């Protein structure tokens, strides 16, 4: 939405007039940020989910924490290893967010830079971005899963 707003208020045209490349100045930082932060946020959320599972297992199911954590690590190891020391599940769990971050940022920047029609156009471009990125992620997820399972099958 920010790039779309900049486009309809002609700020991007002003950057071009000043000889500044809007791709380098506006798109590249957003794409790099998404490529770095989406995998990092995935790691944080995965850990929070596993930690939450530990709390639920302890309080509601009565499973000792030591058993829960031992099972978590056994399941990671059971998935096999890449390069003999990195668990396959970890590789797969970090490759996908990296790709998805790229899709989200590139689609958002593309539709943002193509926005026309004032504030109504910004809303339309935002909706198109969300729908397009969601569909691309679903399709990419399927093919990426098939590819990763072919290379990193347990």
For residue 76, being part of any structural domain is answered with no
pTM of the predicted model as reported, rounded to 2 decimal places: 0.83
CB neighbour class for 73 (10 Å; exposed up to 12, middle 13-18, buried from 19): exposed
- Measured between alpha carbons, how far apart are the two ends of the chain, in Å? 42
The tokens 């099958």 sit on which residue? 153
For residue 37, being part of any structural domain is answered with yes
For residue 113, being part of any structural domain is answered with yes
For residue 66, being part of any structural domain is answered with no
For residue 147, being part of any structural domain is answered with yes
Which residues span the domain enclosing 43? Answer: 2-47+82-151
Other C-beta atoms lying within 10 Å of the C-beta of residue 27: 19
Q: What is the pLDDT of residue 93?
A: 85
For residue 24, being part of any structural domain is answered with yes
Q: What is the pLDDT of residue 110?
A: 94
| Number of compact structural domains in the chain | 1
Q: What is the pLDDT of residue 13?
A: 85
Which uninterrupted H or E stretch holds 81?
A: strand 81-82
Q: What is the pLDDT of residue 89?
A: 77
**What are the pLDDT tens digits along the chain (154 aa)?**
788 888 888 888 898 888 888 889 899 999 999 999 999 999 999 999 999 999 999 999 999 999 999 988 888 777 666 666 677 778 888 899 999 999 999 999 999 888 888 889 899 999 999 999 999 999 999 999 999 888 876 6
Q: Helices (H), strands (E): how many in the chain?
A: 7, 2
For residue 75, being part of any structural domain is answered with no
Question: 37 with 101: CB under 8 angstroms?
Answer: yes
Q: By C-alpha distance, which of 89, 93, 122 is closest to 5?
A: 122
Q: How far apart are CA 62 and CA 54, in angstroms?
A: 10
Q: What is the pLDDT of residue 12?
A: 86
Say how many residues make up the chain: 154
For residue 40, being part of any structural domain is answered with yes
């Amino acid at each position: 939405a920010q790039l779309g707003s900049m486009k309809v208020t002609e700020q991007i045209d002003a950057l071009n007039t000043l000889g500044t490349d809007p791709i380098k100045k506006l798109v590249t930082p957003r794409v790099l940020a998404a490529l770095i932060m989406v995998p990092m946020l995935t790691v944080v959320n995965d850990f929070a989910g596993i930690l939450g599972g530990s709390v639920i297992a302890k309080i509601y199911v009565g499973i000792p924490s030591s058993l829960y954590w031992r099972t978590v690590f056994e399941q990671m190891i059971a998935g096999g290893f890449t390069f003999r020391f990195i668990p396959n599940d970890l590789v797969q769990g970090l490759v996908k967010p990296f790709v998805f971050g790229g899709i989200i940022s590139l689609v958002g920047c593309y539709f943002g830079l193509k926005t026309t029609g004032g504030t109504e156009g910004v809303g339309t471009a935002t909706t198109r971005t969300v729908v397009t990125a969601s569909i691309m992620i679903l399709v990419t997820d399927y093919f990426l899963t098939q590819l990763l399972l072919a290379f990193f099958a347990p």
